[in-house]
Structures are given as C-alpha cells and as structure tokens.
A = this chain, B = another copy of it.
Amino acid sequence: MKSTVGVIGGGQLARMMIPPAVSLGVIIKVLEEAPGMSAELAATGVGDYHDLDTVLSFAKTVDVITFDHEHVPQHVLHALVEAGVPVHPGPDALLYAQDKLLMRHKITELGLPSPDWAAISNADELGAFLDAHGGRAVVKTARGGYDGKGVRVVDDKNAADDWFTVLAEDGRGGSLIVEELVDFVRELAQQVARRPSGEIAAYPVVETVQKGGVCAEVIAPAPTATDAATGLDGSASTVAEVARDIAVRVAEGVGVTGMLAVELFETRDGRVLVNELAMRPHNSGHWSIDGAVTSQFEQHLRAVLDLPLGSTRPRDAWSVMINVLGGPVGQFMQDRYPAVAGEFPAAKLHSYAKESRPGRKVGHVTVSGARLDDVLADARAAAAFFED
C-alpha cells in the first residue's frame, strides 16, 4: 500500500493526524509554513504553500498529499495532479470549500437545502435582498473567511461597501454572497469520510455551539429534543437522518475524498439547511479522538490512502468537546495540568503546543460518559480551568 501521507500546513489538524499515523504505522510528513508550528514533530519541510516548486518538491517525498487547511491555491493543486501526485481532496472538490459562492451554486444544483441566498455586486442588490428578507441578512465574502472572519450581519444596504470596493478594485468581476438570517434553534455538524474508491462512512450528527463565530462546544451525538424534520424527499425523517443524507449527497456530488464536514442550521420549522462545508478534519469532530472507535483523524488517513474506513461507533452514550480559547498570555495549556488532571481524571486533555493569547484555540478537552448532564458539566469545568 501507499503509506506516506504528506500534509500541507503545520497547524493543529496536521498535529492531530500524528497519533493515528503512529498507531497505524503510516509515515506522516508535514510541510509547515514556519518552523516550530503545532505539527512540528512530523515536519520534514518548511515553506510557502503558494509556491509551486516548494509544494512539488515536498510532494516527491510522499505517496499522497492532503491538507491541514483549504488555502492551497487551485493552480498549485492542479499542477500536483498533472504531475501525477494523488491529491485528496482533489482540486475540483476542494474548490467548493474554498469559494462560498460556488458552494451555494453547487448545493442548489444538487437539490440540497440552503438558506435563501443571492450573489450580489453592489449596494442596491444588497438593498433589494434586505427589503425582501425583513431588513436583515448575512453578507459573506466568497473567499478567505474562517472562524467568523469574512462574515457580517447587516441591516443597511451600505454596510458592505468596503467589500464591494475591494471586489471592484480586484477587477475580476467577483460577487459577495448574501444569505437570509436563519431563525435556527441550533447549529449542527455532520461529518462523513469518503474514499477515492467510493466507500462512505458517516459519523453521528453533532450539535455545535459557537461563540463569536468560533466553535466553542460540541455535543456528540446531537441531543434529539427537536427530532422531527422533513427529509430530502419530503418524507418525515429525524434530524439525524436528514443531516446524514445531506452530507452523503454532498460528498458524492462534489467528489470529496477524505473527511467532509457539513455545518448545518436546524430551523424552528423543522428544516435542516447547509451553512458551510469543510474538506478536512474539522473542529466539530475532535470529540471522535476519544469518543468514537475511529477518530476523524484516523479516518482521514484511511480515506486519503484509499483504505477501508473504520467504525464510527461512539464509545459512550455522550461525548462533549470544549475548545480551550486563550488563557493567560504566554502560558501553555500543560502549565495547568497539575490542577486540572487531579480534579478531572477522566477528562481527555489535548494541547496544540501553542502559546496562549486571548481567543486563540490552544487545545480542547473531551469528556465521555453515560449521562449528558454530568459529561457537559465536567467538560465545561475542566476546560474553564485553562481560561482564567
């Protein structure tokens, strides 16, 4: 089998691929952006992923290329494919994680449910959309947004003028996306893995709680409190079934290889709508490291190597993952281990080996168990130790 996986990008997602690579006996090599990044242990190169020569010479040392992030430019990706390098996910799939406008067109073409949306090029078009949607909407840049960046809630047709100006100066005729402000009861995320040969494995849908546009808390599986939804074929279904069906159709429709996360809104009136796509391991799946038979990181390695996928069975009834954001500046998560580990012997502590600064994701905590109330309380309390 091909057994050296090359990861472009040295962040925490690359870092968290290291443990399953070691367990499976898969060699992992990381091209990091700068020395000393989170995935340093597996770094075999340092360089700019925008530079084709850098990426091509890294690719010569591995059997398959995958990613820590979605920012590698299309021309670099296509050059890799032309050079005969297996790239997973491939450029034609990854495009829909890179460009939110193309994603909305594709989701609509696949017959999957989106919030009302439009491509807009000027303030008047924004104004018309606002008039038709109660005066408020979400405006997004097609490219470059993550963790709440490039996303703006607006109630004034001139509130995105700065972005329109940038697009006009760019001169490539790009548009912004405007979307209805969805009246959701909660946010969900559905992950599936897909191999190049077509096999798909779905994880249980999870509930995600965002704070300031950043994922703060994940409950796996999503509790079934509001568990009635309209299926893709109009049938009565559970929210979990609809979420899984949507993600499977996206994975197949777009030809994703590796992990896919579909961020979803569950609306007050029982609809499940596609919010965003991510084609890599995703923050909403970190619970699976400790909470599922096969973690999303092992699954991603299996998928990009075209190996049979592993069981996605949860190990306990509930797992809750809390991100550790910030903490005292200049400290590391592990500085607090003596206190936290003593109080919470069953909490799984994950540090990304990053120095703390306010709002920075430096690690996460997962607790699993039989009762959701207990699991939630322990996970929150353990994570809180790191942030004050």
- A interface residues, Cβ below 8 angstroms from B: 1, 3, 15-16, 18-20, 22-26, 41-42, 201, 289, 293-294, 302, 307-311, 313, 315-316, 332-335, 337-338, 341-342, 345-346, 348-353, 363, 368
Contact = CB atoms under 8 A, between A and B. Distances in A.
Nearest to A15: B22
B334 A3 contact: yes
Contact of A24 (B42, B345, B351): B351
Contact of A341 (B308, B345, B350): B308
Nearest to A353: B25
Contact of A335 (B1, B289, B310, B311): B1
A41 B25 contact: no
A304 to B, nearest CB: 13
Given A1-B335, A338-B307, A23 B348 contact: yes
Given A1-B334, A313-B346, A315-B315, A25 B351 contact: yes
A147 to B, nearest CB: 21
Contacts of A20: 19
A311 B345 contact: yes
A353 B351 CA distance: 26
A386 to B, nearest CB: 11
Given A25-B363, A308-B338, 18 more contacts: A1-B338, A18-B18, A18-B22, A19-B20, A19-B23, A23-B349, A23-B350, A24-B351, A25-B334, A26-B334, A293-B346, A307-B337, A307-B341, A308-B341, A309-B341, A309-B345, A311-B346, A313-B346
